[in-house]
Amino acid sequence: MSEPPAAQGPGSRQGDRRVTLLIYAVIAALSLLALWPLIESERLAARGEDAARRGDFAAALEAWRPLAEGGDADAQFRLGVLHDRGLGTREDPFAAVDWYRRAAEQGSHAAQVNLGLMLVQGRGVDVDEAAAAAWFDKAATANVPEGLANLGHLYRVGRGVERDPVRAYALLRRAALFGNATAALGVAQMIASGEGVEPDPVEALAWARLTAGRDGPSAAPARRLADALEVELDEAGRRAADELGAAIDRQIAR
């Protein structure tokens, strides 16, 4: 005959509570241990961002390096920029390419664009325009304006890809509607000359004026194109360009 269960007195209940509390404490400690790499990564990322905002790029480099070496794509991209521009360290395009490539292979669209530019320019790597086009295409697929614009420029001139003005125009127009100024200049030029699209001096003037009104290297050539188109058009055409430009400006993503 089995023995009846032992009576549970106050002492045993306190013992059970102590065991339960100990288990909870162990679980909490293990949870904190599991979260520690994430907490440390966030701390280092924040410290690097604070240092960069202060202009202390050497400190930013020190904070971001362990993250980059641990496989963090954002940190890898940032190290690429620092080495690319010589911020907080000596300018080293070879190291920049290495960090950009690591980040690009993990899906960083910014790194894909910058790696593509390095491949076009032959900085830190042999010129390879076909490889550059492939990286730009990855960024363009995600609607990254710089990826769209750079790929469009390559298709326009036939570098690294077979020349295709129609595709070039489509890519540049998409980038321009995201606010990319170099793409907007390309759109204005292509519409003015009928390259990959039907010529339309009114729309070309609208795009040229929009681009001329922005800061950056595209403004001056856009202003020259606008001046030439204004001579070609009569007053009604110039007014139509103003109206179309306002409509396009409302479509541009800010």
Residue 98: domain span: 39-127
* Residues 209 and 156 both lie in one domain: yes
Mean pLDDT of all residues in 216-221: 95
- Within-domain flag for 195: yes
* Residues 121 and 197 both lie in one domain: no
- Condensed to tens digits (0 to 9), the pLDDT of residues 73-95 reads 999 999 999 999 999 999 999 99
* Residues 47 and 110 both lie in one domain: yes
* Total domains present in the chain: 2
240: domain CATH number is 1.25.40.10
* Residues 56 and 117 both lie in one domain: yes
The answer to whether 93 and 83 have CB atoms below 8 angstroms apart is yes
Phi, psi of 122 (to 5 degrees): 70, 35
* Residues 43 and 95 both lie in one domain: yes
Residue 71 has pLDDT above 70, yes or no: yes
Which residue would you say has higher pLDDT here, 68 or 253?
68
Q: Which of 80, 99, 127 is the last residue of a domain?
A: 127
Grade residue 39 by pLDDT with cuts at 50, 70 and 90: very low
Mean pLDDT of all residues in 25-30: 47
- Within-domain flag for 23: no
Q: Which of 127, 159, 183 is the last residue of a domain?
A: 127
pLDDT at 15: 53
Average pLDDT, the chain: 87
pLDDT at 126: 98
* Residues 165 and 246 both lie in one domain: yes
pLDDT at 235: 96
- Within-domain flag for 101: yes
pLDDT at 49: 86
d(CA 154, CA 119): 12
- Within-domain flag for 196: yes
The answer to whether 116 and 129 have CB atoms below 8 angstroms apart is no
State the CB neighbour count (10 A cutoff) for residue 137: 18
Residue 114 has pLDDT above 50, yes or no: yes
* Residues 177 and 91 both lie in one domain: no
pLDDT at 254: 59
* Residues 221 and 182 both lie in one domain: yes
State the CB neighbour count (10 A cutoff) for residue 121: 12
* Residues 160 and 81 both lie in one domain: no
pLDDT at 35: 42
- Within-domain flag for 11: no
Two tokens at 65?
């390096």
* Residues 116 and 177 both lie in one domain: no
* Residues 163 and 236 both lie in one domain: yes
* Residues 114 and 168 both lie in one domain: no
